[in-house]
Amino acid sequence: MPTVAETLPGSVPVMVLGGATLFPRGYMPLFIFEPRYRAMLSHALERDRMFCIGHAQPGIDVEIAADPVYPITTLGLVRACVTHPDGTSHLMLSGVQRVEIIGWEQVAPFRIATIRPRPCRIGDPSSAASSALELVDLSTRLCVKGQHISEQLRSHLHCVKDPCAIADVVAQSFVSDPAERQALLELDDVGDRLARLVHHLSALLAGGSK
Model pLDDT, residue 156: 62
**With bands split at pLDDT 50, 70 and 90, how would you rate the model's confidence at 82?**
very high
Distance CA 98, CA 191 (A): 16
Q: What residue spans define the domains of the chain?
A: 4-117, 125-205
Q: What is the pLDDT of residues 3-13, one digit of tens each?
A: 455 588 999 99
Distance CA 184, CA 2 (A): 28
Average pLDDT over residues 100-120: 96
C-beta of residue 108 within 8 angstroms of C-beta of residue 63: no
Please state the pTM of the whole predicted model. 0.88
The dihedral built from the CA positions of residue 188, 191, 192 and 197, taken in this order, carries a sign that is positive
Which fold, 4-117?
2.30.130
Model pLDDT, residue 144: 63
Q: Which of 5, 13, 192, 17 is nearest to 114 (CA)?
A: 13
Q: What is the pLDDT of residues 160-199, one digit of tens each?
A: 678 999 999 999 988 999 999 999 999 999 999 999 999 9
Q: Which run of H or E residues covers position 4?
A: helix 4-7
Model pLDDT, residue 41: 97
Model pLDDT, residue 5: 53
Q: Which of 3, 197, 17 is nearest to 97 (CA)?
A: 3
% residues pLDDT > 90 (the chain): 74
Q: Letter for the amino acid at 39? A: A
My answer on whether omega of the bond before 9 falls inside 30° of 0, hence cis, is: no
Distance CA 143, CA 145 (A): 5
Q: What is the pLDDT of residues 17-55, one digit of tens each?
A: 999 999 999 999 999 999 999 999 999 999 999 999 999
